[in-house]
């Protein structure tokens, strides 16, 4: 019974629940059946590119934009928002519209555009500028989304602006305030529902933690280990992952401090973030490394999965540890991430 429900609902491309099916006879228990039933309520996965590092490049700054093609970064955000002064917003819009296709020729990663926030009064002009060229960005980042209404507003505005251009645009939004964090689940649900009306046009694929604005909104005193942000970071990861979306961690603004950056990136990766925002080219390599499984971890995962295939039991011993389905799934996550990175 479970098998049939499954094969109609899981994502076949990423294989995230494949283990459930391949190990069906081994481990199906009432607990697992409950987990499977919950999983079937989730939206179908879209194939998501890895976004281990997401580099902001101010949208008006041609000198920095010209460098994008030479950077080995998973994801770039051409910025119309806080990286651009108010009197340069028009320049950023026109520059992005002008150069987007050219940059795409030299850059193989995900080339995003960050618009201004729904409540800024500037987002309409951003959307109009980026949809006018007919070459839509692969991903749009919507900052400071504080409510489900703002999410719906953006989706409807975007979809109606580009109605003649069928394209699967990823929408990633940013949580940057107390309201945004409080309403996170409703915001995601509103986005999924709005995109479900136009499944070939766009989908919600991730949440970014805008920690600088969040600190301003909550009057937080920042510390070097970011312990004051633990709750927000963990809530964002747990909520995004509950909807099978990516979660992208905070900016490390002290961009000359590579040790501090690595420590914060490792912390983020350990709590489940899929990537981290960066502001300077020097931050790319260390961050991408922190969000990639080490060789040792990849070897562990491969060997564990090999041992699992050979095992006739649901529980077995591997390298002195008790292994059952949760650890097998962790190994499978590592294998999948490596495949995505190497694509
Ligand atoms: C909280 C938020 O909203 S974060 C998002 C908004 N903020 C941003 O977008 C900031 C993006 N980053 C930057 O603007 C810059 O990195 C700064 C202002 C922090 C430092 O800039 P610089 O003083 O030029 O740094 P530095 O001299 O070390 O740069 C080295 C080279 O990398 C280039 N570079 C620096 N940052 C970037 C970037 N983000 N993208 C592309 N190239 C860059 C510089 O142009 C420079 O090359 P050049 O000498 O050929 O001009
Ligand atoms: C990145 C961003 O927008 C912030 O931290 O507020
Ligand atoms: Mg911000």
In the predicted model, what is the mean pLDDT of the chain?
87
Task: With cut-offs at 50, 70 and 90, classify the pLDDT of residue 168.
Answer: confident
Confidence of residue 312 (pLDDT cuts 50, 70, 90): very high
Same domain, 303 and 217: no
For atom 1 of ligand 2, which residue has the closest CA? 210
Q: Which long-range contacts (CB under 8 A, 24 or more apart) does 83-86 make?
A: 83/56, 83/57, 83/58, 83/59, 84/58, 84/59, 84/60
Q: Check whether residue 227 and residue 327 sit in a common domain.
A: no
How many alpha carbons lie under 13 Å from residue 222 in its C-beta half-sphere?
Answer: 13
Running DSSP on this structure, what letter comes out for residue 183? T
pLDDT band at 27, cuts 50/70/90?
very low
CA of 174 to the centre of ligand 1 (A): 21
Same domain for 170 and 305?
A: no
Give residue 5 CA to ligand 3 midpoint distance, Å: 41
Structural domain contains residue 137: yes
- Do both 178 and 242 map to the same domain? yes
pLDDT at 16 over 50: no
Cα Dmax for the chain: 67
Task: Kindly tell me if the per-residue pLDDT of 29 is higher than 90.
Answer: no
pLDDT at residue number 135: 82
Q: List the residue whose alpha carbon is closest to atom 3 of ligand 2.
A: 210
Count structural domains, the chain: 2
Specify the pLDDT at position 292.
95
Of the ligands numbered here, which is closest to the C-alpha atom of 278?
1
State the burial class of residue 31 (Cβ atoms within 10 Å of its Cβ: 0-12, 13-18, 19+): exposed
Rounded CA gap, 76 and 57, in Å? 7
- 8 inside domain: no
- pLDDT level of residue 12 (50, 70, 90 thresholds): very low
Assess contact for 240 and 205: CB atoms under 8 A: no
Residues 111/138, Cβ–Cβ less than 8 Å: yes
Least confident of 125-134, 159-168, 234-243: 159-168
**Of 51, 3, 60, 56, nearest to 340 (Cα)?**
51
pLDDT band, very low/low/confident/very high, at 24 (cuts 50, 70, 90): very low
Q: Was 81 annotated as part of a binding site?
A: no
Which residues line the pocket of ligand 2, CB cutoff 6 A? 82, 143, 176, 210-213, 251, 277
Strand pairing of 321-323 and 110-114?
unpaired
What's the gap between Cα 92 and its chain centre?
24
Which ligand gives the minimal distance to the CA of 77? 1
| 321-323/316-318 β-pairing | antiparallel
115, 144, 280, best to mutate for ligand 1 pocket (most atoms within 8 Å of CB): 280
Domain assignment present for residue 102? The answer is yes
Find all residues with CB under 8 Å of 245, minimum gap 6, and list them: 188, 204, 205, 206, 207
104 in a structural domain = yes
Q: Do residue 197 and residue 314 come from a single domain? A: no
pLDDT classification of 162: cutoffs 50, 70, 90: confident
> What was the pLDDT predicted at 11?
38
In a domain, 236, yes or no: yes
What does the pLDDT look like over 202-236, one tens digit per residue?
A: 999 999 999 999 999 999 999 999 999 999 999 99
Residue 114 among known ligand-binding residues: yes
Would 254 be classed as within a structural domain? yes
**pLDDT for 15 beyond 90:** no
174 and 303 co-located in one domain: no
Helix (H) or strand (E) holding 55: strand 53-58
Reply yes or no on whether the pLDDT at 40 is more than 80.
no
Q: Residues within 5 Å of ion ligand 3 by Cβ?
A: 176, 210, 213
State how far the Cα of 59 lies from the Cα of 82, in Å rounded to an integer.
10
Residue of minimum CA distance from atom 11 in ligand 1: 279
Q: Does the pLDDT value for residue 22 go beyond 60?
A: no
Of 249, 275, 290, the residue at which a domain comes to its end is 290
Average pLDDT of span 302-327: 95
- Catalytic annotation present for 324: yes
Q: What is the CATH number of the domain that holds 80?
A: 3.20.20.60
User: Is 176 one of the annotated binding-site residues?
Assistant: yes
Q: Which atom of ligand 2 is nearest to the CA of 56?
A: 1
Tell me how far apart the alpha carbons of residues 145 and 228 are, in angstroms, rounded to a whole number: 21
Q: Give the pLDDT mean for 159-187.
A: 89
Same domain, 181 and 327: no
Residues 301 and 257 in one domain: no
pLDDT of the residue at 164:
61
Q: What are phi and psi of 254, to 5 degrees?
A: -80, 70
> Is residue 175 domain-resident?
yes
Which of these is catalytic: 90, 149, 212, 324?
A: 324
- Quick check: 26 pLDDT over 60? no
Domain holding 328, by residue range, is 295-343
* Domain assignment present for 234: yes
Burial (CB count within 10 angstroms: exposed 0-12, middle 13-18, buried 19+), residue 228: middle
Element containing residue 195 per DSSP (H, E): helix 184-196
Lowest mean pLDDT among 5-9, 72-76, 95-99, 314-318: 5-9
Alpha-carbon distance of 190 to 155, in angstroms, equals 9
Going by alpha carbons, the residue nearest to atom 37 of ligand 1 is: 280
Strand pairing class (275-278; 246-249): parallel
Q: Are residues 163 and 194 in the same domain?
A: yes
| Ligand 1 atom closest to the CA of 277, numbered from 1 | 4
pLDDT tens digits, one per residue of 105-154: 999 999 999 999 999 999 999 999 998 877 889 999 999 999 999 999 99
Q: pLDDT at residue 46 above 70?
A: no
The pLDDT tens digits for 259-285 are 999 999 999 999 999 999 999 999 999
Residues 30 and 24: their CA atoms lie apart, in Å, by 12
pTM for the full predicted model: 0.88
- DSSP string covering 266-335: HHHHHTT--EEEESSGGGHHHHHHHTS--HHHHHHHHHHHHHHHH--SSSEEETTEEE-HHHHHHHHHHH
Query: By alpha-carbon position, which residue is closest to atom 33 of ligand 1?
Result: 64
- Which tokens hold the place of 325? 């389905």
Does position 31 have pLDDT exceeding 90, yes or no?
A: no
Query: Do 131 and 233 belong together in one domain?
Result: yes
Q: Are residues 65 and 173 in the same domain?
A: yes
Q: Which residues line ligand 1 (CB under 6 A)?
A: 55-58, 63-64, 67, 79, 82-83, 212, 251, 255, 279-281
Q: Indicate whether 299 and 261 sit together in one domain.
A: no
């Amino acid at each position: 019974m479970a098998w049939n429900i499954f094969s109609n609902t899981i994502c076949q491309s990423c294989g995230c629940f494949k283990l459930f099916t391949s190990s069906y006879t081994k481990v199906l228990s009432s607990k697992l059946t409950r987990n499977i039933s919950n999983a079937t309520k989730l939206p179908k996965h879209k194939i998501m590119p890895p976004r281990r590092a997401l580099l902001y490049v101010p949208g008006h700054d041609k000198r920095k934009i010209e460098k994008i093609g030479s950077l080995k970064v998973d994801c770039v955000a051409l910025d119309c928002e806080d990286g651009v002064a108010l009197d340069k917003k028009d320049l950023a819009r026109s520059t992005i519209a002008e150069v987007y296709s050219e940059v795409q020729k030299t850059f193989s990663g995900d080339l995003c555009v960050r618009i201004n926030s729904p409540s800024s009064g500037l987002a309409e002009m951003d959307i109009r500028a980026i949809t006018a060229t007919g070459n839509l960005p692969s991903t749009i980042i919507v900052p400071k989304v504080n409510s489900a209404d703002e999410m719906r507003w953006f989706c409807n505005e975007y979809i109606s602006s580009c109605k003649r251009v069928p394209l699967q645009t990823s929408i990633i939004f940013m949580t940057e305030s107390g309201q945004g964090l409080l309403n996170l689940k409703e915001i995601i649900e509103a986005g999924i529902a709005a995109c479900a009306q136009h499944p070939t046009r766009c989908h919600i694929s991730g949440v970014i933690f805008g920690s600088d604005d969040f600190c301003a909104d909550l009057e937080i005193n920042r510390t070097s280990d970011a312990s004051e942000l633990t709750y927000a970071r963990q809530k964002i990861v747990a909520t995004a992952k509950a909807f099978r979306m990516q979660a992208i961690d905070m900016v490390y603004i002290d961009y000359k401090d590579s040790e501090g950056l690595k420590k914060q990136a490792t912390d983020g990766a350990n709590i489940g973030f899929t990537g981290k925002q960066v502001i300077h080219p020097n931050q790319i390599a260390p961050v991408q490394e922190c969000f990639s499984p080490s060789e040792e971890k990849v070897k562990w995962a491969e060997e564990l999965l090999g041992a699992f295939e050979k095992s006739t039991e649901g529980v077995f011993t591997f390298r002195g540890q008790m292994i059952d389905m949760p650890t097998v799934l962790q190994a499978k996550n590592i294998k999948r991430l490596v495949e995505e990175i190497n694509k």
